[in-house]
Amino acid sequence: MKVFINPIFPLPGYSAMALFGRIWTRKKNLNKVTINHESIHLKQERELLYVFYIPLYVLEYCFRLVQYKFKHHLAYRNISMEREAYENEINETYLKTRRPYAFFNYFTQKKK
């Protein structure tokens, strides 16, 4: 896993972002929880052959945006890929036991 420090990317308000098989960050030091969260996204990207990750993510974000009446934060937090990452970011062994395409399980589940 490669980590790139960049003052512009990710967008303000986000400390890190997994994209194109790398973690992009504005900070020099990321905590273990953030690294684990982004590593879950890297696994999702690989499963979707990198090419399908962004279109699926954006499509679901648009769907959630309408579903949650254009409230960005609610839409973002309910994207299946984000839900999987947030719910498992503190579990350091999650990636070892994670089943392939596990984020699909979060697509139809209602948020608790």
The stretch 44-64 carries a mean pLDDT of 96
User: How does residue 6 score in pLDDT terms, banded at 50, 70 and 90?
Assistant: confident
Percent of the chain with pLDDT over 90: 77
Q: For all residues of the chain together, what is the average pLDDT?
A: 93
For residue 110, the model assigns a pLDDT of 61
Give the three-state DSSP class for 17: strand
pTM of the prediction?
0.92
Q: What is the per-residue pLDDT across 73-84, written as a single tens digit (0 to 9) for each?
A: 999 999 999 999
- CA distances 57 to 17, 44, 45, 97, 106, Å, are 13, 10, 10, 23, 13
- Residue that is written with structure tokens 């350091």 in the block: 92
For residue 9, the model assigns a pLDDT of 83
Identity of residue 76: Y
The stretch 49-71 carries a mean pLDDT of 96
- Residue that is written with structure tokens 């499963």 in the block: 47
Cα separation, 25 vs 92, in Å, equals 20
